[in-house]
Amino acid sequence: MPTALLSTYDKTGLVDFARQLHARGWQLLASGGTARALEAAGLPVTPVSAVTGEPEMLDGRVKTLHPAIHAGILARDTEEDRAAVASRGWPLIDMVVVNLYPFEEVAARPETTLAEAVEMIDIGGVTLLRAAAKNFARVTVLCDPADYAEALAPADPAAFRLRMAQKAFARTLAYDAAIQRYLAAQSEAPQAVHLTLFPANPLRYGENPHQSAACYAAAPDAAPLGATVRYAGKPLSYNNLLDLDAAWRAVQAYDQPAAVVVKHLSPCGVAVGESAAAALPHAIASDPVSAFGSVIAANRPVDEAFVDALSSLFVEAIIAPGFTPEAEARLTQKRKRIRLLERANGLPARETAYRSVLGGFLAQEVDHGDPPETEWRVVTQKQPTAAEMDALRFAWKAVQHVKSNAVLLARPTEGGFATVGIGGGQPNRVDCVRIAGERAGEKAAGSVLASDAFFPFPDGIEEAARLGVTAVVQPGGSIRDRQVIEAADRLGLAMVFTGVRHFRH
C-alpha cells in the first residue's frame, strides 16, 4: 500500500485530493492541522506522531523533523534501503504533499513585526520538499494544489515526478530568497541579493527585432504585470510591457478617475475627471500626434463611454481594473490587434527596482511619490490661487512619471485637470519648457507648470512666463534659487517649492 505524507498550510483542494488517494488504496499520513482537517472529513489518517513516537514540540515548530519521516522519504528503490527502513518499523513514503507558511504574504504587510515574520519561516515544510524532490526517482512531491489532479493519473509518472521536483526546488529557492531579502532589509549594511524569476510570457524579440528577450515574473504561472490578459490580438511585446508598466504606475497616482497615455515609456497625456471616459479625450488632446500607437491606462473600468471617447485612435494596448462586456466586444471587434489587460488598482507597498549596468546591477526603492511629511512652501510674493494650487497638485503628480529632465503644463478641464504640454528626456531643463510650450500651443497661456527637479537658472522661469504660465511647482534646492525666485517675482508668477525631487532616468 503506497503512503502519502500530507502537511499543508493552504488547504485548498486538500480533502478532495486525499479522498481520491484513499479511494485508490493510498495510506494517508499527516501532521498537525492537516491531520485534523482530514479526520474532520471522515478520512482514515495516521498522525505523524504515531510514526515518530514523539508528540509535536515547541508549539508545533517540530513535527516532521525525525528520522522515521525522512528515512521513509529518502530511501532509494533498492533492497538495502527498503530493508533498512523496514527494520525500524517505519513506512516508506511515496508521495509528499506540502505547501509552506505564507512568509512572503505576511512579511509584505507594513504592520508586520520582525518577530511575526520570523514565525512565518517554515522549516519542516522546506525540509520535506527538499528531501522528496531529491528522491524524485521514487517519490512524488507536490507543492502546489494546482497539480493535484494530474498527480492522480500522470501520463508519464517518471517525467511528472521530475517536473514536480523542479517545481519544488524552485519554490524553496524563491522562499529562502524572500526570507533573505526581508532579513537583509532589517540591516543598514549591504547584503547579498537573490532573485528567483519564472518565465511569464513569450516575447518574439526585445526593443528591436535583432535582440532576443523574455518576460519573467516573481511567481510561477504569474501573468505579465500581474494582470489578466483579457484579449490579445497579437502577443504582447517587450516595448508594450514597458509602456504598460509606465502607464499603470502613472494612473495609480490619482484617486480621482484618471486616464494616462504613454508612448516610448513616458506619458504624453494625463488627465483626471468625473469619469475615466471624461478624462480620456483631454489626455489624448495633450499630444494627439504621439497618442497614435500608444498604450492607455485607466484607474476605472472601461465602459462604452470610454470606447466612444477613444474614437478611431489606434492604440496598442489598454490596461484597466476591468472592461464591461459591451466595451470589450466593441474594442476587439474593430481593433483585431489590440491587447486588453485587467489589473486591480494598486501598487505593491514595498518595491525594489533593479537596473543592469556593466558588470552588475543598481537597486533602489521604487518612487511612489512624495513622502507623507512633505510640506509645500510658497516662495514668491504672489500667492497661488486656490484653483492654481489644485492644478499644481495634479501637475506635480503627473510630472513624476515623465522622463527627466521633466516639465509639463496643465490646466483645469470640465470636472478635472489635464496636461496640455509635456517636455521630457532632454539634457537641459529650459529645452523641456520650450517643448512643453510647443505641445501646448495656445493652451499654454493660463496654465501651471511642474518641474521634476529644480531650475538651475532663471531662464526656465523666463521661458515659462513667455508662454503665459501663471504658477510653478518645483523642488527647489539650487544654489541659484534666489535668482529663480527673483525672476518669478519680476515676471509675476507664483511659485511653490516642494523640497522633493523626482528624477526618472
Scan for cell 504515531, then name that residue.
50
User: Strands (DSSP E) along 385-451, which ranges?
Assistant: 406-413, 416-424, 448-451
* Contact predicate 444/286, CB 8 Å: no
User: Phi then psi for 450, rounded to 5 degrees?
Assistant: -120, 140
For residue 180, the tally of other CB atoms under 10 A from its CB is 14
Tell me how far apart the alpha carbons of residues 190 and 357 are, in angstroms, rounded to a whole number: 18
Number of alpha helices (DSSP H) and beta strands (DSSP E) in the chain: 19, 21
The single residue of 70, 264, 368, 382 carrying the catalytic annotation is: 264
For residue 147, the tally of other CB atoms under 10 A from its CB is 20
Tell me how far apart the alpha carbons of residues 180 and 246 are, in angstroms, rounded to a whole number: 29
* Contact predicate 297/320, CB 8 Å: yes
Tell me how far apart the alpha carbons of residues 269 and 315 are, in angstroms, rounded to a whole number: 14
Burial classification of residue 179, based on how many CB atoms lie within 10 Å of its CB (0-12 exposed, 13-18 middle, 19 or more buried): buried
Active site residue 264: yes
Tell me how far apart the alpha carbons of residues 326 and 341 are, in angstroms, rounded to a whole number: 16
Q: Which residues contact 225 (CB under 8 A, 6 or more apart)?
A: 241, 244, 245, 248, 319, 341, 343
Tell me how far apart the alpha carbons of residues 298 and 388 are, in angstroms, rounded to a whole number: 25
Active site residue 505: no
* Contact predicate 100/125, CB 8 Å: yes
Q: What nine digits make up the cell of 431?
A: 529645452
Describe the strand order of the beta sheet including 266-272 as a list of residue ranges: 228-232, 339-342, 315-320, 294-298, 258-263, 266-272, 416-424, 406-413, 448-451, 471-474, 494-497, 377-378
For residue 405, whether the previous peptide bond is cis, meaning omega lies within 30 degrees of 0, is yes
> Which residues face 186 on adjacent strands?
none
For residue 12, which of 174, 148, 160, 123 has the smallest C-alpha distance? 148
Q: What nine digits make up the cell of 251?
A: 494612473
* Contact predicate 217/197, CB 8 Å: yes
The single residue of 70, 134, 194, 368 carrying the catalytic annotation is: 134
Tell me how far apart the alpha carbons of residues 227 and 180 are, in angstroms, rounded to a whole number: 27
Instruction: Cite the active site residues.
Output: 134, 264
